[in-house]
Amino acid sequence: MIITLPQTTTAEINARLVESRMDYGVVTLARVMTLVIDATGADAEQAIRTANVASREHPCRIVVISPGDSAEARLDAEIRVGGDAGASEVIVLRPAGEQIDHQDTLVTPLLLPDAPIVAWWPADVPADMAGCALGRMAQRRITDTKGEEDPTAVLLSLARCYRPGDTDLAWTRLTRWRALLASALDQVPDPRVSVARMHGDFNSPSILLLGAWLRRALGCEIEATYDASVTALQSITLETPSGPVSISRPDGRNATLSQPGQPDHVITLPARALDEALAEELRRLDDDALYGEVLASFASETVVPL
């Protein structure tokens, strides 16, 4: 069910939310958080679909800000419940004109009381995530640098303004790779790594973060090659005195793990969908301290041309 509210106010939106619970039996007691999505520069419908899938694991109220292009100061909105809202209730705000500059004022009356707030930017990563209007009210702040034209510059900006509670889905997509690499090295007689070689998609922030993590954890050299025809990390090889340890995933789904003195193993390692990555981040509302350390390490090792 979609309820359309043209030229509305947050008071009217709240009133219609109460009516929807009475008319359609919407239950909010099980909501565990408010997820606020700044869809500026992003496909708002795709962001809503992604959040709806993630909400099946984490029931929440979803508030989406999708700015309009009118010069007139106005607020249009939609309330989505039932089948149009997954396991959540979705409020879509379309501010225009001067209303665009007052995101916190628009969102605050719509937050669930006494529930954590998570902010997500699917695109247009803010220069100071924790310092912007939405970031100041959120306990967790999630960006997605995948698709940015200059991921190095964006990651450096995130490092300069990092605050506990920040994270990026480019880091989340590395969770399984990091676990596999750590497990594989534990089984190598001499696990010292001299060089780590990676290959994957062009302009990949995940590769940049993985390189920073490996350099920080292992003190090794990093070599990366890129292919514009692929969409994710394809392979990584760690050179050790015992022999190379490698994970290769040419088809984007099944990976071959090779270790010195052992037969190859084929494991399922599909590229993670956006909703999977978002759902993983919604599982934890505490600080991801390792991400902050890796981000700082990346910034300290990166030389920016003058």
Q: For position 230, what pLDDT does the model report? A: 87
Euclidean distance between CA atoms 12 and 5, whole angstroms: 9
Q: For position 304, what pLDDT does the model report? A: 44
Q: For position 285, what pLDDT does the model report? A: 86
Provide the token pair at 214: 């490996």
Q: For position 306, what pLDDT does the model report? A: 32
Euclidean distance between CA atoms 146 and 204, whole angstroms: 7
Residue 85 has pLDDT above 90, yes or no: no
Reported as a single tens digit per residue, the pLDDT across 110-162 is: 999 989 999 999 999 998 999 999 999 999 999 999 988 899 999 999 999 99
Q: Do 60 and 162 lie in a common domain?
A: yes
Choosing from 108, 134, 169, the residue where a domain stops is 169
Q: Do 164 and 182 lie in a common domain?
A: no
**Is 184 within a domain?**
yes
Q: Do 15 and 136 lie in a common domain?
A: yes
Q: 282-305 burial, b if ≥16 CB within 10 A, otherwise e?
A: beeeeebeebbebbebbbeeeeee
Query: What is the rounded average pLDDT of the residues 31-47?
Result: 93
Residue 172 has pLDDT above 90, yes or no: yes
**Is 261 within a domain?**
yes
Q: Do 161 and 243 lie in a common domain?
A: no
Q: Do 35 and 162 lie in a common domain?
A: yes
**Is 304 within a domain?**
no
Provide the token pair at 176: 């399984």
Query: What is the rounded average pLDDT of the residues 102-108?
Result: 91
**Is 286 within a domain?**
no
Residue 205: pLDDT band (50, 70, 90) is very high
Q: Do 165 and 181 lie in a common domain?
A: no
Q: Do 27 and 10 lie in a common domain?
A: yes
Choosing from 106, 138, 169, the residue where a domain stops is 169
**Is 283 within a domain?**
no
Integer angstrom CA distances of residue 268 from 217, 242, 254, 257: 25, 26, 5, 10
Q: How many domains does the chain have?
A: 2
**Is 114 within a domain?**
yes
What pTM value is reported for the model?
A: 0.91
Domain span at residue 230? 175-268
Chain position carrying tokens 């590229």: 271
Choosing from 169, 190, 224, the residue where a domain stops is 169
